[in-house]
Amino acid sequence: MTAEITMEEVGGRTLRVARWRLDEPSDHPPVLFFNGIGANIEAVAPLAEELDDRGFIMFDMPGTGESPDPTIPYTPFTMSWTAAQLLGRFGLDEVDVMGVSWGGAMAQHFALQHPGKTRKLVLVATTAGMLMVPGNPASFTKMANPRRYIDPEFMNEHFATLYGGVDADGAAHQKDSHIGRLKPPSPRGYMYQLLCMLGWTSAPVLPFMTKETLIMMGDDDQIVLPINGKMLKALIPNSRLHMVEGGGHLFLLTHADESIAELRNFLDAPEDETRQAA
């Protein structure tokens, strides 16, 4: 991984922060990325490295990866504020905001709370929070089990049920490439991430979202059913929906070429062109 990684004290929290190319000239604003629940920086490092013509910044949530455990619970408001403070520390006035799954909810909240820092918004395999259509019950029960992070045999056995989709390089590659980058969250870190979004929904305010938004969903996602992307599309005025055929919950990794091409198409388009495409 080619990122510069540091431990930063921000808003009373210590966070492990990864930065790619922030000191290099670019015609594009950096990407601020919010990861899925329990996931560490390394899980999405391949995406950051592929988007090599712009900066990229992300951090391990408290109690995940190598960020220390949180001492008190946090909320979407406090973590969005913390992320904004982190951007200021590195002199980033405006970013494209992206989030996957749990992090997609954080990305929505950040864009609503800090519109002046947000240029465009990318929501991947995510929902409007509590007002969502639940996924496959078998996937949900296994997803709630932290063994999926700490027990490779459990992950191997239940990978298809958890994540769905098909990797063009085969099921073994799909599992190995993902499991090898995971570091289990602490029990407290995992619990606090679950608590953070308890009762949260963006649905009432999404009609007031002014940011150009790309919604990306996998049509074989067992955790976040595709209909949730259609709901987001209906709620967000200036949005477009891209459905990845054969994509499960991890289509950013298993269908990387298609995902990155769509990301570039959206992020690099002038604002008026993106609005017309919506």
The residues assigned a catalytic role are: 101
Number of C-beta neighbours around residue 169 at 10 A: 11
Residue 32 Cα to chain centre, angstroms: 10
SS3 129: strand
In angstroms, the CA 69 to CA 86 distance is 18
In angstroms, the CA 211 to CA 155 distance is 37
In angstroms, the CA 125 to CA 192 distance is 21
β pairing state of 95-100 and 212-218: unpaired
Contact 55/20 with Cβ under 8 angstroms?
A: yes
Strand order in the sheet with 239-244: 4-10, 13-20, 56-59, 31-34, 95-100, 118-124, 212-218, 239-244
In angstroms, the CA 197 to CA 34 distance is 14
